[in-house]
């Protein structure tokens, strides 16, 4: 795995998370059927936590829910630790300068 693939994966999952948070916010405003919190948090846990957190701040969505207000920053921290460990172990080589 290279850093490009890892960055693409995290970026893709973050874009998906951002989009579904936006959709859920729109549905909430219109009183329509919502996207489950399990789905929102699941996608965030799989790498979309950065986009989910950004959407939470921009759209003021789920900001009072502890699972999101605490969970997303914790997930971001965990993903950063995983990234550092992957680089340190040599699994993800850094580009040569």
Checking phi first, is residue 62 left (phi over 0); if not, alpha (psi -120 to 50) or beta? left
| Residue numbers of the chain with a pLDDT score lower than 50 | none
pLDDT of residue 73: 94
Neighbours of 55 (CB within 10 A): 26
pLDDT 10s digits, 77-92: 999 998 888 888 777 7
pLDDT of residue 91: 75
pLDDT 10s digits, 67-79: 899 999 999 999 9
Instruction: Report the predicted TM-score, pTM, of the whole model to 2 decimal places.
Output: 0.86
pLDDT of residue 32: 96
């Amino acid at each position: 795995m290279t850093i490009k693939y890892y960055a693409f994966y995290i970026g893709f999952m973050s874009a998906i998370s951002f989009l579904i948070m936006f959709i859920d916010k729109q549905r909430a405003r219109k009183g329509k059927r919502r996207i489950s919190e399990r789905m929102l948090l699941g996608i965030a846990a799989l790498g979309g936590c950065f986009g989910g957190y950004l959407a939470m701040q921009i759209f003021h969505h789920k900001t009072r829910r502890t699972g999101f207000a605490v969970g997303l920053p914790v997930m971001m921290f965990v993903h950063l630790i995983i990234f550092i460990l992957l680089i340190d172990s040599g699994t993800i080589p850094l580009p040569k300068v």
